[in-house]
Amino acid sequence: MNLRAARSLVSASGLPAPTPWDSSPPARISRSGRYLLPLALLLLLVSIAAAVSVGSADLPVDSVLRAVASHVGVPVHPLPALPDSIVWDLRLPRVLLAALVGAGLAVCGAVLQALTRNPLADPFLLGVSSGASTGAVAVLVLGVQIGAGPVDLTTGAFVGSMAAFGAVLLLAGRRAGEPTRIVLAGVAVSQLFSAVTSLIVISDAHTQDTRSVTFWLLGSLTAASWPSVALSAVVVGVGLLVCWASATALDVFAFGTDTARSLGFSPGRTRLLLFTVTALMAAALVAASGAIGFVGLTVPHAVRFLFGSRHRTLLPTCAVIGAIFLTWADTVARTVFSPQELPVGVLTALLGVPVFALVMRRRTGTP
């Protein structure tokens, strides 16, 4: 039965067919929305190529493409050794890591905002970033060792994140699937780990160490390498898939636990799974690049505002837009004060706050 038939049925049963009282904008740009994701992906590829070509030594985009092609086995005339090394060993891993971190953080933010029904939720909600800083500081300042050898910053940060998330789960207890409980536990644990970090820094402060920790904490992609790119790719890929498989559950959670249950979901179990997946993602990304703020908070709001909140499209779109955003943010961060480098976290905050304010102002009609 089509719409007209349905309407005439309503009139036939003695009711006047109601009319909508205004023509407010459609909730979703359904037709053009279909081309959005491929278009955004194309934009991402262009952004990556452009970002690699920009830097203290400017390389034309075709040289970049040639360098990449020669490395992946396409028979092209290779670049000279120095520019080739700049593209393949320095810039490409860094740009790719930026894209992956941006994608992962945006997805984490979108999922956590839906799970907690809290617009202020971000990937570091559950103590992940403060745990990472404690781990990093412990390694840098105290020279903590695990097993035989010394631990690098990345491993220390990851272990710290996991310790913090473990503490959050312990504190939240048996009902960790309840958003309020786990968020409160996250706040408490974040404070605790921040205190421990300060304690370590004060107890054994070498200015140089403190400076490098601060720089790292603000977020920086200088440490990018092919292994960190590969690891982040796996983490972001798997994480995105798991979250995307729960897209409908995330849609339904907006209507409350009872509605989710009555539609056949198990909210407690699903939430716990997704809290864990996002914590793992955020921990791996923070270990690779520090706690880059505002990407995970702002990008989901902007994407939701523009393209609606159905998570089936929201999550992949967030991933691509987050990737584009951080790719450009890092490019600006490493070039604008060249040869000095700005921590990218400073830049994302500078760009993120106005976007956030704009979205907040434009949001309509809700109490």
Partner 1 sequence: MIGSDTARREMGGSGRATGGDPYPAETVPAWLHADGVGWGVAGVRILAGVALTAEPGATVGLLGPNGSGKSSLLRLLAGLARPNSGRVLLDDVALDAIPRRALARRIAVVTQQVATDVEMSALEVVLLGRTPYRPRLAGVGAADLDLARRALAEAGLAGFEQRRWSSLSGGERQRVDLARALVQEPDLLLLDEPTNHLDIRHQLELLRFLAGSASTVVVTLHDLNLAAQYCDRLVLLDGGRVVTAGTPVEVLTTSRIEQVYHVRTDVDIAADGRPRIWYRGRAT
Binding site for partner 1 (CB under 8 A): 1-3, 6-7, 9-10, 12-15, 17-20, 24-28, 117, 119, 245, 248, 251-252, 254-256, 258-259, 261-266, 304-305, 308-310, 312, 364-367
Nearer to partner 1, 10 or 57 (CB): 10
As measured in angstroms, the least distance from the Cβ of 313 to partner 1 is: 11
As measured in angstroms, the least distance from the Cβ of 281 to partner 1 is: 20
Element (H, E) at 74: none
Contact 353, 295 (CB under 8 A): no
Structure tokens at 114: 């839906």
Contact 289, 101 (CB under 8 A): yes
DSSP letter (8 states) at residue 91: I
357 Cα distance to chain centroid? 19
As measured in angstroms, the least distance from the Cβ of 39 to partner 1 is: 20
Contact 243, 296 (CB under 8 A): no
Contact 68, 92 (CB under 8 A): yes
Structure tokens at 1: 């039965």
Nearer to partner 1, 1 or 82 (CB): 1
Nearer to partner 1, 211 or 363 (CB): 363
As measured in angstroms, the least distance from the Cβ of 358 to partner 1 is: 16
As measured in angstroms, the least distance from the Cβ of 319 to partner 1 is: 17
CB atoms within 10 A of CB 33: 15
Nearer to partner 1, 139 or 315 (CB): 315
Contacts of 356 (CB under 8 A, 6+ apart): 294, 297, 298, 301
Nearer to partner 1, 168 or 359 (CB): 359
Contact 20, 3 (CB under 8 A): no
Query: Number of C-alpha atoms within 13 angstroms, CB side, residue 30?
Result: 3
Nearer to partner 1, 255 or 337 (CB): 255
Structure tokens at 152: 């690098």
As measured in angstroms, the least distance from the Cβ of 277 to partner 1 is: 16
Contact 76, 66 (CB under 8 A): yes
Q: Residue 80: what residue type? A: P
Helices and strands in the chain, H and E counts:
16, 0
Q: Per DSSP, what are the bridge partners of residue 145? A: 150
As measured in angstroms, the least distance from the Cβ of 178 to partner 1 is: 14
Nearer to partner 1, 242 or 346 (CB): 242
As measured in angstroms, the least distance from the Cβ of 125 to partner 1 is: 18
Nearer to partner 1, 216 or 265 (CB): 265
